[in-house]
């Protein structure tokens, strides 16, 4: 076995009881920054070289490791999807409900204004003089004493809401 000069550098000194300066090449970590032990020496840290005392990983083992990592990544994506999608749907439904309730209140204010001018409520939404709401809002019934409005989101998100002259605020309970 060839012997290489260490030049007095303690990083390249031989393990006690060994005359080989590279005996602890893989066993002792480099301290103090600098090049790894054996750097620049023939045969040191060659690409693809097996570590002493270890069996190299076969190609099929590397494939299995890669498949395992990919499976873990897919599981993480599936978990995020399983948690995130229902939360997104719930937020969209809540936003749709708020839009429908706002549109019902707008039509209800127009009904009250119509009643102030004519002394009766109207079943004709066109007579109320309001812009067409984004939600599907309909006058379910109207007579001289009361009215009932119904509304829902055009995409079907959220609940069906009702507003009557006697109830005063939107509810999911149909008008009586």
**Cα torsion for 10, 12, 13, 18, to the nearest 10°?**
160
Tell me phi and psi for residue 17, to 5 degrees: 85, 5
Q: Comparing 39-43, 68-72, 99-103, which segment has the lowest mean pLDDT?
A: 39-43
pTM: 0.56
In the predicted structure, residue 121 carries a pLDDT above the cut 70: yes
- The mean pLDDT of 98-117, rounded to a whole number, is 93
């Amino acid at each position: 076995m060839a012997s290489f000069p260490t030049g007095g550098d303690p990083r390249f000194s031989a393990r006690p009881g060994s005359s080989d300066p590279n005996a602890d090449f893989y066993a002792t970590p480099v301290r103090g920054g600098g090049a790894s032990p054996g750097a620049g020496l023939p045969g040191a840290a060659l690409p693809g070289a097996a570590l002493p005392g270890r069996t190299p990983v076969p190609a099929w083992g590397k494939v299995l490791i890669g498949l395992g990592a990919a499976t873990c990544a897919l599981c993480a994506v599936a978990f995020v999807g399983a948690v995130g999608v229902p939360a997104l749907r719930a937020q969209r439904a809540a936003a749709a409900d708020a839009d429908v309730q706002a549109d019902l209140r707008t039509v209800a204010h127009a009904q009250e204004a119509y009643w102030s001018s004519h002394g009766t409520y109207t079943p004709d939404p066109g007579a109320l003089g309001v812009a067409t709401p984004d939600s599907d809002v309909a006058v379910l019934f109207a007579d001289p004493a009361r009215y009932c409005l119904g509304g829902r989101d055009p995409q079907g998100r959220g609940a069906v809401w009702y507003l009557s002259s006697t109830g005063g605020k939107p509810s999911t309970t149909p008008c009586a």
